[in-house]
Amino acid sequence: MNAREEILGRIREAVADRAGAEPVHVPRGYRTLPAPDGVVDLFVDRVEDYRAVVTRCTAAEVPARIREALGTAGRVLAAPGLRYDVDGAVVDDGQTALELDRLDAVVTEASVGIASTGTIVLEHGTGQGRRALSLVPDLHVCVVRADQIVPGVPEAVAALDPQRPQTWISGPSATSDIELDRVEGVHGPRNLHVIVAGD
């Protein structure tokens, strides 16, 4: 008997005692946070802590702020169904990873913003595009409405559809080696620009 067979044998013995038993109840009473008056301010502070750029504006100003965020980006992709016009952008129609890599930027919307962690969540529905869009181009410009920002993770999970794929983004892509030297852009966009629309 090798080590693998021994370990699997022990697992089988352990679960055999549970056959036909009542399911174990796992408490789900997670601590939730009340929505503070400054939930949007907290979100902005936390997103900036991750070295992302944040712009606040009214809903009417969003197209102009997108143009500013894109700056000199030449090849821009917009998520299908994006509610904002992006001058010169191509709408995603299933570009390959190589084609996405040739783009300078992508513009999407978000499903939820989490104030306590500075995280934006995409469910990849209308205006958000498929997962690859938020991972390949070097600049990701993401619009989050102020009314989409919730205090904490439990509130975000409650607002999301568990049947949809999700991407949780906390700042630009970054990793550190064993000596804690930070490298950005390894697993996704090197630059994240979040536009917070509304009060």
The upper half-sphere exposure of residue 83, i.e. CA atoms within 13 Å in the direction of its Cβ, equals 13
Question: What residues does each domain of the chain span?
Answer: 36-197
Q: Confidence class of residue 39 from pLDDT cuts 50, 70 and 90?
A: very high
pTM for the whole thing? 0.80
Nearest one of 156, 155, 182, 177 to 168, comparing CA atoms = 156
Q: How far is CA 50 from CA 104, 117, 179, in A?
A: 21, 10, 19
**Mean pLDDT of all residues in 178-199:** 78
Mean pLDDT lowest among 56-65, 106-115, 179-188: 179-188
The CATH superfamily label for domain 36-197 reads NagB/RpiA/CoA transferase-like (3.40.50.10420)
